Amino acid sequence: MSIRAIVVDNSEELLEKISRILREMEDVELCGSFGEAIAAIQYVKENPVDIVFSDVVMPDISGITLASKIYQLPDPPEVVLLSGIPGFSLEAWKIRAFGFIIKPYTRGQIVDMLNRFRCERNARKVL
């Protein structure tokens, strides 16, 4: 079963970087990439998504707010927050984000996060 993912970052360069990493993975379907959090939230409301990778600091609403809004939806996807500011990891923990990755991130960090997601999703199926 493929993992349906979207990415959210107001930096075009970083949006393309993570999109490229996800497109290279066999079992990941990149469903969308968004420069604004509001558009991403609307997409998640209307389409099935398993995981969201989102920047924290964005001009419209923060990734923390995006995650909070997504987690209020029925059957929400998991959210992984990305930031160059390590202090946001506490905020990510408070809202129970699935993960937090400090920028600049590596392909390996994204792969590790997706492996963790796969393991947890498979464990939930067993229960």
Task: pLDDT band for 126, please (50, 70, 90 cuts).
Answer: confident
Number of domains in the chain: 1
Quote the pLDDT of residue 124: 84
Full residue range of the structural domain in which residue 122 is found: 3-126
Output the CA–CA distances (angstroms, integers) from residue 98 to 11, 34, 101, in the order listed. Answer: 22, 19, 10
Task: pLDDT band for 125, please (50, 70, 90 cuts).
Answer: confident
75 pLDDT higher than 80: yes
Residue percentage of the chain with pLDDT more than 70: 99
* pTM as predicted: 0.96
Q: Are 51 and 95 in contact (CB under 8 A)?
A: no
Quote the pLDDT of residue 1: 82
Task: pLDDT band for 127, please (50, 70, 90 cuts).
Answer: low
**CATH (domain of 65):** 3.40.50.2300
- Please give the Cα distance from 20 to 122 (Å, whole number): 25
21 pLDDT higher than 90: yes
